[in-house]
């Protein structure tokens, strides 16, 4: 006999919020039956699926990627080699993101150095009121 779970129990057992479970259901990743009172009831298989989805999300896979992989997972035909291949492709994506962020970081460091240099140049000039870097407000007629 199958024992169905309500959304609150599924959330508690998986560590996934009720809000997120509802989002997964709205996107067709998981499916719930409705009981006579209209409450969502999830099968025990859904527990496994939600854990798979949550782990995939923790690794940075998009919901679209998860949705593309989930049918093979459900059918039991997603192999270890398939999963390793997906993760290796994800590593390539992460490495590209890291490289892009390192480029931004280097630009920030360069701009800081430039600003410090400019500050030193201004400090060596004779004392005179420095112009405000902000435009002065326009006076309006009364």
Question: Going by C-beta distance under 8 Å and a sequence separation of 6 or more, which residues neighbour residue 114?
Answer: none
Q: Residue 89 pLDDT > 90, yes or no?
A: yes
3-state class (DSSP) for residue 41:
strand
45 Cβ contact partners less than 8 Å away, ≥ 6 residues apart: 74
- Tell me the residue length of the chain: 142
Note the pTM of the prediction, 2 decimals.
0.73
On whether the CB atoms of residues 55 and 61 are closer than 8 A, the answer is no
CATH classification of 1-78, choosing from 3.40.50.970, 3.40.50.10860, 1.10.1660.10, 1.10.490.10?
Answer: 1.10.1660.10
pLDDT tens string 22-75? 999 999 999 999 888 888 899 999 999 999 999 999 999 999 999 999 999 999
**What interhelical angle do 44-58 and 7-14 show, nearest 10?**
50
Res. 8 pLDDT band, cuts 50 70 90: very high
Strand partners, 34: 40
Please report the pLDDT score of residue 137 as a whole number. 74
Q: What share of the chain in percent tops pLDDT 90?
A: 73
Domain coordinates in residue numbering, the chain: 1-78, 82-122
Q: What would the mean pLDDT of 7-34 be, rounded to a whole number?
A: 94
pLDDT confidence of residue 142: 63
**Spatial CA neighbour of 69 closest among 80, 79, 78, 60:** 78
For residues 113-123, give the mean pLDDT.
88
In this structure, are residues 47 and 10 in contact, taking their beta carbons and an 8 Å threshold?
yes
Return the half-sphere exposure (C-beta side, CA atoms, 13 A cut-off) of residue 95. Answer: 6
> Which tokens belong to 122?
């201004």
């Amino acid at each position: 006999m199958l024992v169905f779970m309500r959304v609150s129990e599924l959330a508690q057992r998986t560590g996934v919020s009720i809000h997120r479970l509802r989002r997964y259901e709205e996107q067709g990743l998981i499916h719930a039956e409705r009981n006579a009172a209209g409450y969502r009831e999830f099968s025990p298989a859904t527990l496994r699926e939600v854990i798979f989805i949550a782990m995939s999300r923790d690794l940075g896979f998009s919901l679209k990627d998860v949705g593309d992989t989930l049918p093979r997972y459900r059918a039991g035909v997603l192999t270890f080699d398939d999963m390793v291949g997906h993760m290796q492709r994800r590593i390539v994506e992460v490495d590209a993101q890291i490289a892009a962020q390192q480029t931004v970081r280097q630009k920030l460091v360069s701009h800081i150095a430039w600003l410090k240099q400019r500050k030193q140049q201004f400090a060596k000039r004779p004392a005179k009121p420095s112009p405000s870097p902000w435009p002065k407000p326009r006076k309006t007629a009364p």
